[in-house]
């Protein structure tokens, strides 16, 4: 959606009768939640706040329940109601009570007794969305709760931002039947300290078909669970460890020498170009080299993005403050991406979105 802070939304009916809500698609976290009445602190959203008192299927969860046991941070301060609290990497958070509720997808597929967070205190970057659809690898994510019905499998196409508002939509499918024939598959890397994240093995980066001189150790997941490379739909721009980002940027700048640079960066971007007046430009490709052999070469839309209406385009990568690398949704857009959690694989293609 045009609004928001770089996330992708899905439309989901919450409750009975279903109340339509925009929810952020987040493969980097587990909890499914929506902002709920009564709200002690809520950010602005496009839809009316969800009111659990008018849903016939809303059922609060007790502290002794199995669902409450699976929460990483559960508490029961003043009642027997299970309370949850989730904070995200950008400082956003949601707090409230856990409940079982019915979710309706695409007006026809109904899933009963999904454990969701009813958020009464929420703050953050979720501009416009009512909440979040957690699709991570943990048991409390929507995929984890589907269990045998989906086998931990889902596939998605994130529509390119260039398609403009209303001119295209992506697709999110659950279940083994959604696994495409002809995809290129790479193994997922397990991190017991962060089971929500989908880690992949990245061995290097390329610009213009030439491998950038970056030590593979910069992308390795350590035995202590530090570092590694995560694929995340809930993060917009890919983050790389400082030395890896600098090497990628310098290689790109060197090969894009004919393009006019701007004098300064924009927001988190430090490498921007003034392309005002250009009908078309030639840019070097950017590629991810995966440990098991395949190379994913990105379309130009996935690494050089407009940041204003005046023709300023920036290289859509940024340095990470930690050793963790995150492949964000800008780099994933337009590519069919699949996760087979039960068998431990991630797939690319074969379709474009």
Task: Return the active site residues.
Answer: 26, 232
d(CA 44, CA 19): 17
Cβ partners under 8 Å of residue 206, min gap 6: 212, 285, 286, 287, 288, 289, 295, 297
The distance in angstroms from the start CA to the end CA of the chain is 16
Strand ordering across the sheet containing 272-274: 272-274, 312-315, 304-306
Dihedral sign (CA 35, 163, 327, 12): positive
Following DSSP, what letter does each residue of 154-167 receive, concatenated? EEEE---GGG-TTS
DSSP letter at 170 equals -
Tokens linked to 60: 């609060």
Asked if 315 contacts 323 with a C-beta cutoff of 8 angstroms, the reply is no
The C-alpha atoms of residue 187 and residue 233 are separated, in whole angstroms, by 18
């Amino acid at each position: 959606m045009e609004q928001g802070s770089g996330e992708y939304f899905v439309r989901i009916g919450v409750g009975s009768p279903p109340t339509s809500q925009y929810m952020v698609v987040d493969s980097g976290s587990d909890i499914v939640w929506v902002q709920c009445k009564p709200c002690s602190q809520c950010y602005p959203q496009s839809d009316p706040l969800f009111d659990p008192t008018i849903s016939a299927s809303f059922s609060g969860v007790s502290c002794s329940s199995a669902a409450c046991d699976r929460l990483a941070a559960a508490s029961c301060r003043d009642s027997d109601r299970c309370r949850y609290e989730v904070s995200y990497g950008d400082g956003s958070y949601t707090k409230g009570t856990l409940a079982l509720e019915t979710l309706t997808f695409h007006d026809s597929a109904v899933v009963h007794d999904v454990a969701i967070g009813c958020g009464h205190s929420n703050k953050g970057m979720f501009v416009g969305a009512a909440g979040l659809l957690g699709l991570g690898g943990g048991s409390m994510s929507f995929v984890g709760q589907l269990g045998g019905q989906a086998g931990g499998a889902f596939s998605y196409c994130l529509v390119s931002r260039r398609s403009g508002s209303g001119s295209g939509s992506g697709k999110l499918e659950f279940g083994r039947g959604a696994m495409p024939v002809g995809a290129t598959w790479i193994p997922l890397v397990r991190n017991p300290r962060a089971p929500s994240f989908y880690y992949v093995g990245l061995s290097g980066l390329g610009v213009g078909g030439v491998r950038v001189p970056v030590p593979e150790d910069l992308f390795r997941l350590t035995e202590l669970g530090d570092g590694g490379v995560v694929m995340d739909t809930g993060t917009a721009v890919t983050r790389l460890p400082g030395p890896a980002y600098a090497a990628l940027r310098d290689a790109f700048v060197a090969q894009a020498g004919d393009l006019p640079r701007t004098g300064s960066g924009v927001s988190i971007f430090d490498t921007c170009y003034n392309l005002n007046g250009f009908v078309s430009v030639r840019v070097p490709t950017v590629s991810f080299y995966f440990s098991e052999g395949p190379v994913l070469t990105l379309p130009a839309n996935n690494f050089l993005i407009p940041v204003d209406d005046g023709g300023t385009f920036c290289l859509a990568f940024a340095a990470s403050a930690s050793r963790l690398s995150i492949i964000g949704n800008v780099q994933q857009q337009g590519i069919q991406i699949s996760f087979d959690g039960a068998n431990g694989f991630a797939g690319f293609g074969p379709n474009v979105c």
